[in-house]
């Protein structure tokens, strides 16, 4: 195991971080179970959480969010061999952060790739992609954004 990965895993042992990571994993299971039973708008409403959505993430919380993203990628791609983990990852993180009162949104986009279409799902915070390595808006046309409901 390389040093960088070991440091990320050790971050999960910080007070509260392990509980958040476990909560996100529970969200992942819940999302997986409901994904095929509910329409997308109904699923997103069920994941939205109650109360105000005006909490601001600190720098440390943003750093941990990146670690949670990497943890989900490891589980989805490394363990379950999901080829395109963005949908499950974005739904689990959307649920987690909305429940905590963070005004995160979720976007769905599409792009042409040769003779086929590719889809992508990503989070939006403060009007910009959140936890994305590159800006998906440059290559994906947004089809639906929640909670704005633009389509």
Rounded average pLDDT over 104-116 = 95
Does some domain include residue 36? yes
Other Cβ atoms within 10 Å of 19 Cβ, number: 10
Whether 135 is in a domain gets the answer yes
Residues 24-61: pLDDT tens digits?
999 999 999 999 999 999 999 999 988 899 999 999 99
Q: Is residue 121 part of a domain?
A: yes
Instruction: Write out the residue range of the structural domain in which residue 17 sits.
Output: 3-146
Residue 13 scores a pLDDT above 80: no
CB atoms within 10 A of CB 110: 14
What are the helix (H) ranges across 53-141?
Answer: 59-73, 86-99
Does position 12 have pLDDT exceeding 80, yes or no?
Answer: no
- Token digits of residue 127: 């009007």
Structural domain count, the chain? 1
CA–CA gap between residue 74 and residue 22 (Å, rounded)? 14
pLDDT in tens, 53-103: 999 999 999 999 999 999 999 999 989 999 999 999 999 999 999 999 999
Predicted local confidence at residue 61, as pLDDT? 94
Does any domain span residue 151?
A: no
Q: Model's pTM, two decimal places? A: 0.90
Does residue 69 fall inside a structural domain? Answer: yes
| Beta carbons of 110 and 144 less than 8 angstroms apart | no
């Amino acid at each position: 195991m390389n040093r960088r990965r070991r440091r990320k895993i050790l971050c999960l042992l910080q007070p509260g971080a392990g509980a958040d990571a476990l909560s996100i994993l529970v969200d992942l299971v819940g999302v997986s179970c409901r994904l095929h039973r509910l329409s997308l708008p109904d699923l997103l409403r069920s994941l939205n959480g109650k109360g105000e959505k005006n909490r601001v993430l600190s720098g440390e919380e943003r750093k941990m969010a990146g670690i949670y993203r990497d943890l989900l990628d490891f589980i989805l791609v490394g363990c379950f061999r999901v080829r395109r983990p963005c949908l499950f990852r974005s739904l689990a993180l959307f649920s987690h952060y909305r429940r905590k009162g963070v005004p995160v949104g979720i976007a769905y986009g599409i792009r042409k790739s040769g003779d086929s279409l590719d889809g992508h799902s990503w989070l939006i915070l403060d009007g910009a992609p959140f936890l994305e390595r590159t800006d998906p808006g440059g290559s994906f046309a947004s089809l639906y954004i929640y909670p704005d409901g633009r389509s």
